[in-house]
Amino acid sequence: MDKYLKEENFINRELSWLDFNFRVLHEAKDKVHPLFERIKFLAITCSNLDEFYMVRVASLKNMVHSGYKKKDASGLSAKEQLEKISEKTHEMVKEQYNTYSRSLLPQLALNGVNIADREHLSLKQLDFISRYFKNEIFPILTPMAVDSSRPFPLIHNKALNICALIRGKDKKEAFATVQVPSVLPRLIRLPDSEKDSYILIEEIIKEFLPNLFTGNEVLCAYSYRVMRDADIPIDEDDSEDLLLEIEKNLKQRERSEVIRLEVDSGIEKNLLSILKKELNIEKEDIYKISGPIDLTFLNKLYSAGGHENLKFPDFKPQTHPRLGKDTDIFEEIKKGDILLHHPYYSFKSVVDLIKRAAFDDKVLAIKQTLYRVSGNSPIIAALSQAAENGKQVSVLVELKARFDEENNIIWARKLERAGCHVIYGLLGLKTHSKITEIVRREEDGIIRYVHLGTGNYNDITAQFYTDMGLLTCSKEIGEDAGAFFNMISGFSEPSHWNKLILAPIWLRNKTVEMIEREIRHAEEGKEARIIAKMNSLVDPNIIALLYKASCAGVKIDLIVRGICALRAGVNGLSENITVRSIIGRYLEHTRIYYFYNDGVENIFCASSDLMQRNLDRRVEIMFPIEDEELKKEVMHVIDVQLADTMRAYIQTDGVYEKVDRRGKQSIDCQVVFGEEAVKSNKRKEEKKKVNVFIPKTKPEDE
């Protein structure tokens, strides 16, 4: 295996992630998309980059500070990675703002949408922003000067600020800063009879900044924003109460190291040197921005209403044909397993299952894992109601879910107050599994109904993440589900599993075993094939094994949305491997693993990607799809994605390019799945009409 583990065979995971974000940025530039969808893609690239810096770049900086010298699989040290990341990110930011200023802003103006600056306002608009500043903004603002008696203030993570150079009556110059209030909308609609006109709140504040420093002269003012380290480790071993420990760490984030500074491109040198010194930041981590700092405000423009002709056609997630309004969901699951492909089939069916269980007299217990849920989660409400109704409710709430820690603490406490048994994850591991078990007493005994998924129990993200979920009352999976919850709530470790494959103990070995089986079949001259769809492929040992499989003649198709450390299409290494990334209207989140197995096809869905963290440091579940009709459904999804010519990028030796469409049918897999879901419900309605018996009003002979 050593020859497959050479450094040149791997792409650095951080640089691969940046390539992914460049692909999203490419979608923002693609004129095939409606204009408002393009601005949404641009906003996504900015929020993606924020999280990347707060977590991944912060982690690398911590490695450098601690003297960590070990290189990654691609042969780069943490310091070398930071240098390459900085170079690539500066290029990305420049392209983001070129896209915004040169492409999207002019197109918005042509379509009646204007984002104004304060130098180009009408008298009516100037009067409006003057009153808005006086009545809405001014009472909230707190200007902070810096001098010998007033130290440099705490600048909050991701908050937008305005720094200014102030000259007093004594002619001395001083630094001052004011935080742009996040409690007010960033995008303010202006009165305009001809266009939808907006102005950014920081433009209004800059216009009337002298009102905050009466008796002083404002020499200049510029926007800036800092990004802080959010990769704060939690010492679980020494923590008596994990919930309190995480709450403490959340507060520490606000004072952690500044790892990125964004400033207006024209910022005065003295102001920049003050910021650089006080924030203790290196030159390469300063980004001069030619436009509004933090383009995520474009999401607000998208959702402001109107301009539906500039967006994707509205798609309403369909109810699965077997799960209609009057369906007894438990009886339907007993007829056979049900596969849900979200968002094409509505996630509401999963919510309805838990709601139904909360009020069903036959239901004795509900057990569920929660990793990320929505801000007003109907699932949390249903679980609370179930506990209040006397059901035994056990919920594992993963407090270590990054950036959802605070939200999850709130939900955990609410569930506890309702009478649920709440488990706060496992020591040293994140529980990333998506599983629900409903225990029901029926005439023929206890039956376990189980939902297994590839995505979170989040009713909001389920509308724009693609995921799969299995509803089953398989006795073997039910036993496994019971064993799983006993394992995470106590000290029980099952001697065996019937169907489920779990990380961190069993999943890696089983994956290796199935890849090696395909290698043996190929070496025996048999057909051998692997197809895998996931978010990220990073694990060096799995990648090396895939290289070995390719060299043995196994045909391998990989659909990897984001990070991919594997180099595809390299002679003598991976010529039998294709890698494609699909970027579209929905975020591809489904994990599917297929092994030909000499014609006895094995198909699995999973909560896990092929990364070290998933395989070794998280509690994950891979579950089989065994019903022959459902196998066909999963393979149809794979086949359509492999045939996609509109949303797919193909990787060759680390370089991604859109599929060459010449001479090929235009196939957008996400559009295909949406259309198919609508058609399946139409067929169901037509079938109902055909089967309706209409009694005659009088005998035929009469």
What SS3 class is residue 189?
strand
Q: Return d(Cα 595, Cα 545) in angstroms, integer.
A: 14
Tokens representing residue 423 in the block: 């488990």
Amino acid at 579: V
Exposure b/e, 242-281, CB count within 10 A at least 16 = b = ebebbeebeeebeebebbbbbbbeebbeebbebbbebbeb
Render 19-78 in DSSP notation, one character per residue.
Answer: HHHHHHHHHHH-TTS-HHHHHHHHHHHHHHHHHHIIIIIHHHHHHHHTT-----TTS--H
Q: How far apart are CA 156 and CA 583, in angstroms?
A: 33
Strands laid side by side in the 258-264 sheet: 144-146, 173-179, 160-167, 217-228, 258-264, 286-289
Instruction: Select from 255, 251, 613 the least CA-distant residue to 409.
Output: 251
Nearest to 555 by CA among 564, 546, 545, 542: 546
Contact 321, 681 (CB under 8 A): yes
Residues 6+ apart with CB under 8 A from 300: 185, 186, 187
Phi-psi category of residue 573: left, alpha or beta, with phi > 0 → left and psi -120 to 50 → alpha: alpha
Residue in this structure with the two tokens 């890698």, named with its chain if needed: 579
Angle ∠(687,688,692) on CA atoms, nearest 5: 120
Angle at which helices 242-253 and 405-418 cross, to 10°: 150
Contact (Cβ atoms closer than 8 angstroms) between residue 357 and residue 438: yes
Query: How many residues are given for the chain?
Result: 702
Alpha-carbon distances of 445 from 63, 358, 450, 475, 498, rounded to whole Å: 56, 19, 16, 12, 20
Can you list the pairs that 397-400 forms with residues at least 24 positions away whose Cβ atoms lie under 8 Å?
397/370, 397/422, 397/423, 397/424, 397/425, 398/369, 398/370, 398/371, 398/425, 398/430, 398/431, 398/432, 399/242, 399/243, 399/246, 399/424, 399/425, 400/234, 400/246, 400/425, 400/430
Q: How far is CA 602 from CA 23, 439, 499, in A?
A: 32, 28, 12
Distances (CA, A) of 279 to 157, 282, 285, 291: 12, 9, 11, 22
Task: Note the helical H segments in 405-527.
Answer: 405-418, 475-489, 507-523
Measured at the CA of 423, the angle between CA 234 and CA 247, to 5 degrees, comes to 35
Out of 33, 341, 432, 589, the active site residue is 432
Q: Which positions ≥6 away from 66 have C-beta within 8 Å?
A: none
Active site includes 307? no
Q: Which SS3 state, helix, strand or coil, does residue 211 take?
A: helix
Q: How many CA atoms lie within 13 A of 546 on its CB side?
A: 32
Of 271, 144, 152, which is closest to residue 213 (Cα–Cα)? 144
Compute, in degrees rounded to 10, the torsion defined by CA atoms 364, 367, 372, 373.
Answer: 0
Active-site residue list:
432
